[in-house]
Amino acid sequence: MSIEHWWPKLKPSTQEWLIENNGDAVSPEVLAEIAQVGGVVTSDAWWVGENGPSGFYFSDEAVDWIEAVANGEVPERP
């Protein structure tokens, strides 16, 4: 499932955390919520970036998408 489908299903506090920490490693709790609402972080979806020992990171395109949301813009899917 793509970010534009699971994003609105996240708690507002989670969306706020993702906006405020955009580009940082995503916490395990936030990853669990993303998975719970349908975001598969082990997929090859465009929004999935690095996932390794240092944590999970969104792709550069997803970081841009979240930034657009934070700026009140309608983000475009890459």
- Per the structure, the count of domains in the chain is 1
In a domain, 75, yes or no: no
In a domain, 18, yes or no: yes
pLDDT tens digits, one per residue of 7-53:
999 999 999 999 999 999 999 999 999 999 998 877 788 899 988 88
In a domain, 56, yes or no: yes
pLDDT of residue 1: 81
Q: Indicate the pTM of the whole model.
A: 0.88
User: Which tops the pLDDT comparison, 77 or 24?
Assistant: 24
pLDDT of residue 21: 96
Q: Which domain holds residue 23?
A: 3-70
28 is written with which tokens? 């395990």
pLDDT of residue 2: 87
In a domain, 22, yes or no: yes
In a domain, 51, yes or no: yes
pLDDT of residue 78: 66
In a domain, 78, yes or no: no
Please provide the DSSP assignment of 17-61 as one string.
Answer: HHHHTTTSPBPHHHHHHHHHTT--TTS--TTEEEEETTEEEE-HH
Burial class of residue 33 (count of CB atoms within 10 Å of its CB; 0-12, 13-18, 19+) = buried
